[in-house]
Amino acid sequence: MFRLYFDAHEEITLPISCDPVIVEANSDEALGAYQETSDPTDVIVPLDGTTITFSLDPDRLARARDAAGQIPMLGERVGAHARAAGEGLCELEAELAVAKAFDALDETEREALRAYRAWQRRISLEVVCAVVVRVSGWDFDEHPLRDSIEAIRPASHRDAFVAEAYIHISRLERLDPEKKGRSGLLSGQRIQSVALGDVTHARSTTDARGVTAATQLSPG
């Protein structure tokens, strides 16, 4: 296992697993594992799979959070309380209990929850736009990152792209320096995209000069 220490200016490249190309290439179990760990060796990354490259610059992250505004605490608590209704129940009973809890919210609580969800979308977009420096297959000179994200269609793919990118960035930012070591993801390295059928798993590599990816989450 390699011990990793991400500094503020180090660039990290990770695949975006909600890309339909990557979804098709992987099992639900592999996708779930990657979404829980941000370890790219959990997934197969086809040659045309989407990757993002970002840094964890604290100044940029702080400015992004300032731009998103203050977290609506009432809405956050309302949502947490409703979700807690399903704790300790089996899956179906939990889903029903949570649904009933959300249905029972009064208009003030619903408005607070809407404000919180709007803030979640806002902070996710601000953070992603602040620290992502490359997306495979996108030309930032021709179309800036924010414009490119807004152009992703369908809208569900756009929302999924932003949400997943934000999760990876936030997860790596939160890691204690002594716990940043993970097998398979080497600091400063890129993901080696692979042709389906050639290998059974994705690999990290120190030489990505030959890899060019045409994203299936391309804007437009």
Judge whether 213 and 47 are in contact, CB under 8 Å: yes
For residues 191 and 184, what is the distance between their CA atoms, to the nearest angstrom?
10
DSSP labels, the chain: -------TT--EEEE-TTSHHHHHHS-HHHHHHHHHH--GGGS--BTT--EEEE---HHHHHHHHHHH----HHHHHHHHHHHGGGTTS-HHHHHHHHHHHHHT--HHHHHHHHHHHHHHHHHHHHHHHHHEEEETT--TTTS-HHHHHHT-SSHHHHHHHHHHHHHHHHHHHHS-GGG---TT--TT-EEE-B-BTTBSS-EEES--TT-----TT---
Taken as a whole, the chain contains a residue count of 220
Along the 220 residues of the chain, how does pLDDT read in single tens digits?
444 555 667 889 999 999 999 999 999 999 999 999 999 999 999 999 999 999 999 999 999 999 999 999 999 999 999 999 999 999 999 999 999 999 999 999 999 999 999 999 999 999 999 999 999 999 988 899 999 999 999 999 999 999 999 999 999 988 755 444 443 343 333 444 444 333 333 333 322 322 223 334 545 5
Torsion angles phi and psi, residue 134, rounded to 5: -150, 145
